[in-house]
Structure 1
Amino acid sequence: MARFLGFRGHRLNVATILLVVFPAYMCFGYNLAVAGGLLTMPSFIKQFPKMDTENNTSKLNSNVQGTVVALFTIGGILGAFSTILVGDLLGRRRVIFLGSGLVIIGALLMSSSYSFGQFIVARLIQGIGTGATTATVPVWQSEISGSSHRGAHVVTEGLFISTGIAASLWIDLGFSFIDTSSVSWRIPLVVQAPLAIFVMIFIFQLPESPRWLLGKGHDQEAREILGILRDVDADSDTVRGEVADIERSLELIGTVNKWDLFSLGEKRNFHRLALGMAGQSFSQLCGINSLTFYATIIFEQRLGLGGTDSRILSAAMTTIQIVGALAAVLTIDRLGRRPLMLTSASGMCISMAILAGTTSTANNQGALIVAVICLFAFNMFYPFGFLGLTFLYSTEVAPPHLRAKISGVSNCFTWLFNFVVVEVTPTGFQTINYRYYIIWAVINFAIVVTVYFLFPETNGRSLEEMDEIFMLSHNIFDSPKVARSLPSSEHLEVGEDGIKS
């Protein structure tokens, strides 16, 4: 069999997206939302009455429901953290393979659960696998993509997450019509396993990160892979130039030690870590999973709609995320990262503010319609700037020798705040009602301000150029100014038509 399934250049990049990134992130999105659509099914409530908030409105049941649903995110924290320790040791492909294996084990255990304890353990295992995978795939993908297409390639992750979320809720809707049987929730919990199996089958048929290989001293293999990725000869000027950039960056940063991640100085490693952590935290602190995880419950219990209507609206609401994610894919390399994040956070802020006002009015049909529109609008704005983009951004601002570690730590914060949001949402709705949305409106406004003043633009920059931007920055406010003023280097890259630009 030809190396990398016989693909080269642009076709090889497309193959990595379709064969690994698509199933991995669709599986991630599916697992984010699938449990939320099952929480009101009679057969699920009968099997796990401790999570019943439909017939039992006690604070204890709300807390138990929030904790069990959020255990997936606790596992995600552990999985992402593990990549800090083993990401550079094992390489990108091995970590993705092992993480996908844990996702499959978790799905099988969860779908076969008859005890509350087994369900909890399965949820945790699945989260560990998902956390390891989602912390590693963006690093791997950004390191094999050229700078001119890196944004569109990596941000497709957001499109696939949206697809997975929508698929989970439509599947939940379909199986809700047989909700007297446990089949109605067991099949939705296992149906994503083939996606993870697909990743395990193909990950070793695709190239390892050339940057990781160079860091490990496998120079010849790295050159061969770069030649195949750029569809040129391994000894061409294009490959030589890219290898020189990587090696120069590695030499500039210096030898790794255990405190590098938290050092500042001229290299500003901690500054770059903080930007990665902030971006990935914002992807959760905007409040998205107070809606995604509990979409069906919001429509059914908060807005007073029927069970079937609630599930239809939940599935349709998350489907609209695909529109926002597709818009991000088409515009990110033209508009840049900052404009997308600023537009997204502003839209989410306005949506949450209006949502708070409309849900404060009881039994008002007009207010109900506006509330539903705002829920849909929020889900369209969110993926435009904070779904796949933050995974990309944390890898772009990171220095090459710390990229896996910074991505791992940043992903830990994604999962940490995911847990916080999912854990507190049932209690938040129960105790402060519509005022809960005001909190998210205020946080989204703070995100707009933070991105504007602190986040440098990374669009069109090679991963090595970002080193120079941070080394010219003297404080946290400098990097956006330096990025605007520093001209982009003229790197030779081969386009799809084979012409150098």
Structure 2
Amino acid sequence: MFGIPLYFGMRGNTLNWAIGFIAGLDFLLFGYDQGVTGGLLDLPSFVKYFPKINPKEEGISEAEETARNTYQGIAVAAYNLGCFLGAVFTIFVGNPLGRRKTIFWGSVIMTIGALLQCCAYDLPQWIVGRIVTGWGNGMNTSTVPTWQSETAQAHARGKLVMVEGMLITAGITISYWLNYGMAWIGENEVSWRFPLAFQIVFALIIFGTILNLPESPRWLVMQGRDEEAIEVLEVLNEKNRDDPFIQNEYRSVQQTVKEMSQGSYRSLFQMTEYREFHRVALAYVCQMFQQISGINLITYYAPKLFDEINLSENNYPKLIAACNGTEYFLASLIPIFIIEMVGRRKLMLIGAAGMSLSMVALAVSYEQLHQPEKNMKAAPAQIVFLFVFNSFFALGWLGMTWLYPAEIVPLRIRAPTNALSTSANWIFNFLVVMITPVAFKTIGYKTYVIFAVINAVIFPIVYLFYPETRYRSLEEMDDIFKKTTNVFNVVHHSIKEPHRFDKYGQLKPEYAEEVRRQSIKEADADDVHEAVEKAS
């Protein structure tokens, strides 16, 4: 294509990492838009055009201030509502379009939305722009984890999808530092128009490269394009098609697609031997938990939270928010290196426990800061535990909820399930972002108490109901759920079921021999079939 070599000339691990980084730029966009908006809300050049979402205007009544807090929450959360609509839309178009084309068109739609935002002169246009941008990002975030999981090797899948989580924090960090720099411009409109327009750069990279990356081999088999699927498996694994590993991968995918080809959207709610609804529920609740943990209470409104600690001079709230984003980014690097060693369940449990305790500390320090006689000694604790919460979230829940749903569901409903579970992420994201300004205005420190309790409840639910997927191929999870008889024993089966692959991604000898015997058996069957055809 235009003289560019197929897959940009990459193979094997290099190609796998390219898929992770290039497609994962959508998650950078997601993080960027989360972070950039909160830093614009108090800029004089911004509130000049959008006064209806400025609750700090002098001379307004308390009722008007409350109303503007509500308007602000709705306007900021409009992006998440668009993401929800885009995720639901993907349930119906994801499989027909394919993984790459869905991401391509999602990126085009995001670009249109970003242009609407940065050129806005009134609130309705800005809100419409946020909804359109969100629609495109909802399509992408519903598809990227599926595409990533279906192209990655089992032993590297966790690391590669964790990169997507890291890119979210990278986007947040970039937006925070850009906001801090732009805050010194004064009343020049470029201070908010440029940050909104800058996201177009990342969208251009995505839709300019995505169609020259490999399609999911599993999706290709579903479409009957078996030869292309084998070629993709060869390139991704740098092995010849005669290699036992490639034969096993292809056969596993082919058998699963053949066995489950009769799936429909109704299958999301069925309970056959594959326990579809059980797995859909796990994926959906996992995404919901990420958002009701309260992370976007901090991400979207970090400058506003720091501003309430008497740090309004010299743009200190934006500076501390930028430092918070940088620490958040550094913490997100840790799971990339330990996800396969520690496992999914343990990281989710550690994250939930740490987030709950952090919210308790935030509630206590916030209450002290808002007493009639402010206890400013609590200010450092408020700052520290905003950092600590982000660290625990990055460790256990940031990238995990984009990885886990793609690992837990069967192939025939993987695309619609990931779209549905992603819609949970966005609708609860919308809820948290919308209510945050009003919650702090009306119930104060109790806002943190609510999220502390929610995170405490998440811990036992994960422990009891969420099976481990570490070192498991996508087809192995089907076998585990076939042996499951109720929601309480799936964890037991995930622990007891032998692994087919070792920690290096190599097929274990006993299974390699089984693959060899199966190949001989199928070859003999083909010879018999060919002889019968000749005789007839």
Preserved contact between residue 221 and residue 257 of structure 2 (Cα < 8 Å): no
Alignment of 1:220-239 (within 5 A): 220-239=227-246
Alignment of 1:29-40 (within 5 A): 29-40=31-42
Secondary structure at the aligned position of 1:304 is classed as coil
Alignment of 1:76-115 (within 5 A): 76-115=83-122
The AA in structure 1 aligned to 2:127 is I
Cα deviation for residue 250 of structure 1 reads 2.6
The AA in structure 1 aligned to 2:18 is A
Secondary structure at the aligned position of 1:279 is classed as helix
User: Cα deviation per residue 1:269-293 (whole Å; 9 max; x = unaligned)?
Assistant: 0010001001111110100011111
Cα deviation for residue 2 of structure 1 reads 3.0
Preserved contact between residue 275 and residue 455 of structure 1 (Cα < 8 Å): yes
Cα deviation for residue 459 of structure 1 reads 0.5
Match of 1:18 in 2: 21
The AA in structure 2 aligned to 1:406 is T
Match of 2:140 in 1: 133
1:179 alignment partner, one of 178, 186, 190: 186
Worse-matched range after superposition: 287-296 or 359-368: 359-368
CA distance in 1, matches of 2:337, 2:377: 35
Preserved contact between residue 21 and residue 163 of structure 2 (Cα < 8 Å): no
Cα deviation for residue 494 of structure 1 reads 6.8
1:3 alignment partner, one of 6, 11, 17: 6
CA distance in 2, matches of 1:370, 1:102: 42
Cα deviation for residue 54 of structure 1 reads 1.9
CA distance in 2, matches of 1:30, 1:2: 31
Is residue 2:498 matched to residue 1:487?
A: yes
Cα deviation for residue 317 of structure 1 reads 1.1
Structure 1 pair 490/374, CA: closer, same or farther in 2 (3 Å)?
closer
User: Cα deviation per residue 1:181-208 (whole Å; 9 max; x = unaligned)?
Assistant: 1111000111111101000111011100
Structure 1 pair 81/463, CA: closer, same or farther in 2 (3 Å)?
same
Alignment of 1:340-489 (within 5 A): 340-362=347-369, 363-489=374-500
Cα deviation for residue 161 of structure 1 reads 0.3
The two structures have a TM-score, normalised by structure 1, of 0.96
Match of 1:306 in 2: 312
Cα deviation for residue 249 of structure 1 reads 2.0
Preserved contact between residue 356 and residue 438 of structure 1 (Cα < 8 Å): yes
Cα deviation for residue 373 of structure 1 reads 0.6
Preserved contact between residue 471 and residue 503 of structure 2 (Cα < 8 Å): no
Match of 1:209 in 2: 216
Secondary structure at the aligned position of 2:215 is classed as coil
The AA in structure 2 aligned to 1:27 is L
CA distance in 1, matches of 2:445, 2:21: 41
Preserved contact between residue 238 and residue 492 of structure 1 (Cα < 8 Å): no
Cα deviation for residue 379 of structure 1 reads 0.8
Cα deviation for residue 474 of structure 1 reads 1.0
1:241 alignment partner, one of 239, 248, 252: 248
Cα deviation for residue 248 of structure 1 reads 2.1
User: Cα deviation per residue 1:354-391 (whole Å; 9 max; x = unaligned)?
Assistant: 11011111322321111111100001111111111111
CA distance in 2, matches of 1:33, 1:335: 30
CA distance in 2, matches of 1:190, 1:271: 42
CA distance in 2, matches of 1:487, 1:126: 44
CA distance in 1, matches of 2:26, 2:265: 30
Secondary structure at the aligned position of 1:47 is classed as coil
The AA in structure 2 aligned to 1:443 is I
CA distance in 1, matches of 2:219, 2:482: 23
Preserved contact between residue 287 and residue 440 of structure 1 (Cα < 8 Å): yes
Preserved contact between residue 226 and residue 239 of structure 1 (Cα < 8 Å): yes
List gaps (5 residues or longer) in structure 1: none
Match of 1:50 in 2: 52
Preserved contact between residue 155 and residue 503 of structure 2 (Cα < 8 Å): no
List gaps (5 residues or longer) in structure 2: 513-536
CA distance in 1, matches of 2:52, 2:346: 44
Match of 2:163 in 1: 156
Preserved contact between residue 253 and residue 267 of structure 1 (Cα < 8 Å): no
Cα deviation for residue 53 of structure 1 reads 1.6
Alignment of 1:321-336 (within 5 A): 321-336=328-343
Match of 1:168 in 2: 175
The two structures have a TM-score, normalised by structure 2, of 0.90
Worse-matched range after superposition: 435-444 or 177-186: 177-186
Preserved contact between residue 228 and residue 234 of structure 1 (Cα < 8 Å): no
CA distance in 2, matches of 1:490, 1:176: 52
CA distance in 2, matches of 1:490, 1:329: 20
Is residue 2:274 matched to residue 1:275?
A: no
RMSD: 1.6
Percent of aligned positions that are identical: 39
Cα deviation for residue 254 of structure 1 reads 5.1
CA distance in 1, matches of 2:78, 2:113: 12
**If you compute each CA radius of gyration, which structure gives the higher value, 1 or 2?**
2
The AA in structure 2 aligned to 1:388 is G
Secondary structure at the aligned position of 1:259 is classed as helix
The AA in structure 2 aligned to 1:465 is E
